[in-house]
Structure 1
Amino acid sequence: MRLETKLGLFNGLSKLLLVVLGVLLIPPVVQRVAVVHTDERLREKKSEVLSLIARDGLATFLREEHDEAYADYNILKQEYITITPLGPGSAAGPATERIFEEPRQVGKEVEDFRILSCEVPLGATKGDTIARRYRLEIGSSLGTVELLTNTLRSLALWVLVAGAALTVFTDAAFAHYLLRPLRELISRKLRGIRQPGEFSFERLHTDTTDFRRLDDSLSALMRQLQASFEKEREFMSNVSHELL
């Protein structure tokens, strides 16, 4: 098997191994990235809601005198925001936050959501001097997370496959160019040479040190071989002359 063919097979197999590893490793990594991205979006929406409450007041979202909760869903029921007043006996303290996955009923259907839930003091009711605590929930449908995950996974796999295919061809082209002096040496100085006199001592046009040394060593060896043949021919001629 030719050296160029072996290099091509090695490059192809190594890229195939890279694609297989990518298929195994990309899905969990992409899923983690999608979850982290979703969590960041939930935190951004939480900051926006708290900023709106600080600017416009809590009355914009709910009527405290009736202890009514506030709920808002987007048109496709993929995201929601709820603000629920907690009882007077709820523990006071700084805002607490947690993110979890849980089913929620949206209309007549039950959907799985990734939920950011936090208890925050937002305002004081009449007669109270301490700000009342509310539970703020912001949810994003897991269907949206899965859609983002599938999109990122497909994009990453396509980029990986395209990159691997492109590098296979570029590596093969570079190996073909790199081994050109070796092919020239074989075709011009080795193939079809029946005797030392037919050997061509013209130097190869290459800037690769290894091929240049190989060419010089081969030429030096052939010069020694030609000198040995000349000495042998001269010796045989002298012997024949003496015998005659």
Structure 2
Amino acid sequence: MTTGEGVSPGDGVTGGRSVEVLVGMSVAEIASRRDLAAAARRRGAEVAYLQHGDPSLGAALARAVDGGASEVRLVGVDLAGSAPGVSWLRRVVAHWTRTWSGDPVLVAVAERHAVDLADEIGIDERVASARPLTGREAGLTSVAWERVPSHRHQVFVCRGPRCAAAGGAQTQRAIVAALAERGLGDDDVLVTVTGCQFPCNHAPLVSVQPDDVWYGRVDPAAAGRVVAEHLVDGVPVAEHRLPR
């Protein structure tokens, strides 16, 4: 683990060990959890997940402090290029620090996510440039998130282990790109990444609600058809539709 300069203990933080945590930011890292764990072992780091996985980020932070850490440096990991941004990681960490009642700890967050677990130099650079929390980070709530979304369709893209191995990340990107090309946003079609949906033999799997339509073997070309024919024209794509 590389410890950079420019991060000094804050008020009430005494000398102690520094802990590095690689934070899986999305379900893509859940599917690649063995690779993430191996990368952490090589670096003498810990693993946490922002969503879906265990240990949660809060649990990992608490364990680090309980183990004697006075400084924790977090590096978000985004293997699919579609994870929440650094600002979200800072929000979640800031919420944890505001509610933490144990020993004081300095938490710093890398300003860019790691995108390649084999790039040790790149991860070192992110750890070294990690920026401490300022105390001015936004909270977990916002007026913009008060209401239930008004979208007419919700597309669930499976990113469980089998779908991830079969190209679920490419399917997700193709759907998002096809929607963007048509000027459709979250208020029209909300794309949600999930864990395993079953039936895995038809990976990559996509389901469309509230139409109760399930699609199998949705490669990027099929994803474009789902957007154009089903979500825009209202006609399900028969070749990829699974029986219900």
TM-score scaled to structure 2, two decimals?
0.21
* Larger helix proportion of the pair: 1
Flag the structure with larger Rg.
1
Q: Which has the higher contact order (CA 8 A, sep 6+)?
A: 1
TM-score scaled to structure 1, two decimals?
0.21
